[in-house]
Structure 1
């Protein structure tokens, strides 16, 4: 299987589905609907919905069954970025190479857009064309990953830790929630849609844990080595806000070594699946080699 054309087809399918499920920007309330589309349809990497498709493909899932969970996880991710960029949070003006949603619209509209995207994600899963028990399980997985035991909890820990040095285990736990939980949910939802069993899900949990951490280590490295133009967001923001990062705790070369060790962990976790896991393996490589 050649992964690049496959990823291109999946990305086109994801974007088409997102275009279709987002509200019409010409219907009232236009400002809210326009902000929702602005937040989602920018130049995102679509890593999380791609993981849904790759994990589902590993078990032969019908692509039509993967559309709802793939879009739902991207909507949650997009909402989280809108809220993370707000003045009360990270206070950033640049995202995906253009003004953040609260800058392009206004702060109140951005808050409402994030709220509406989160609600739309769960509505999408609730009415997805899949057996009701599977839909409920996908709802449970995504809700858990998005809430206080996942992404929101990780963001709260991040805020609490700003301005003080964290121990490495605390930093890893924070990012396992803030970044890793949604990646784990994407992989698990795709596998569930393909009928994966308990042993396979456990193997994928190990892969997802390593990938979520690797994704953040790479982000921290890029925050040092890449420009704002390359990243599409403000470079050097972590250092400016005195946040603990993997390079700050391990040194830049130590962070790169940690990234390579995580790459080995990911490939070991996928090894029992053989060539069937080629797409997941390629996404893992993409995540740790990316330049933005």
Structure 2
């Protein structure tokens, strides 16, 4: 069930992304190609999956969710393009393929990331079936906050400044709650805005999103040690080589694995408070720490 849903939603958002990029004027074919390389390089499409799966659970038509899924993946793709740059993590591989600055050049990669970021908000600003103007403004504000200083960019800056330093667990949690968790929470929030739920149900879904956002990063840190380059799509041990603070470094491998499991249990407890059939979302929560990439 989960595997089929992930594949279907992945194909759906990839179609949306391809259509959005192909529809651009051919002002600069190289930049357009770099954007497509960065946006369609592969991956499980975790954030779009959450938009679709949570939205579907709340009885929101998929057509109303397509722009949200495409927009959040544009932001994620831009963040990865910039994250791979020499000034940041300096990675040559992403999902088993050359990163954008390797496949093209550094300046083109920066511009491709910039263009995908702005495209996200262009997508959300166009009319969306079944979504009113107030909802659209809320969606734009949600994605902007999660992407910027108070979210992903702030977390990335903390991460860069923490390199070659020993930070405590609370600081690491804050770092990843912003760098990785903010966009995952935003994916759930976008679906919530598109649907109609009460305050308690909304809080349960936000608690779920925060837990799986952290669990996702803990598992990433674990895979950096236990996974192969082929499995994880980037050089194995790259975080250790870059002397980054990670959960296994602070807690040990077993401690990190226990932390990931505890976070998933927190996520499942939050879902149990909802009056919906959340089986698919529960399966997804388990997938977060069982995945090999």
Partner of 2:231: 230
1: distance between equivalents of 2:112 and 2:4? 33
Partner of 2:77: 78
Displacement of 1:147 in angstroms is 0.3
Partner of 2:113: 114
Q: Once superposed, which parts of structure 1, at least 4 consecutive aligned residues long, lie more than 6 Å away? A: none
Partner of 1:247: 248
User: Which SS does the other structure have where 1:272 is aligned?
Assistant: coil
The question of 1:262 aligning with 2:242 is answered no
Partner of 1:64: 63
Partner of 2:133: 132
Displacement of 1:144 in angstroms is 0.4
Displacement of 1:232 in angstroms is 0.7
2: distance between equivalents of 1:197 and 1:34? 43
Q: Write out per-residue CA displacement over residues 134-166 of structure 1, whole angstroms, 9 at most, x where no aligned residue.
A: 000000100000000000000000011000111
Q: CA RMSD in A?
A: 1.3
Alignment of 1:4-83 (within 5 A): 4-23=3-22, 27-83=26-82
Alignment of 1:89-168 (within 5 A): 89-129=88-128, 130-168=131-169
TM-score w.r.t. the length of structure 1 is 0.97
2: distance between equivalents of 1:229 and 1:211? 24
Contact 1:145 1:181 in 2 (8 A): yes
User: Which SS does the other structure have where 2:248 is aligned?
Assistant: helix
2: distance between equivalents of 1:201 and 1:181? 16
Displacement of 1:170 in angstroms is 0.3
Gaps (5+ residues) in structure 2? none
Displacement of 1:274 in angstroms is 5.3
Partner of 2:282: 281
User: Which SS does the other structure have where 2:262 is aligned?
Assistant: helix
1: distance between equivalents of 2:275 and 2:291? 24
Gaps (5+ residues) in structure 1? none
TM-score w.r.t. the length of structure 2 is 0.96
2: distance between equivalents of 1:239 and 1:211? 23
Contact 1:49 1:73 in 2 (8 A): yes
Partner of 1:190: 191
Contact 1:15 1:41 in 2 (8 A): yes
Displacement of 1:9 in angstroms is 2.2
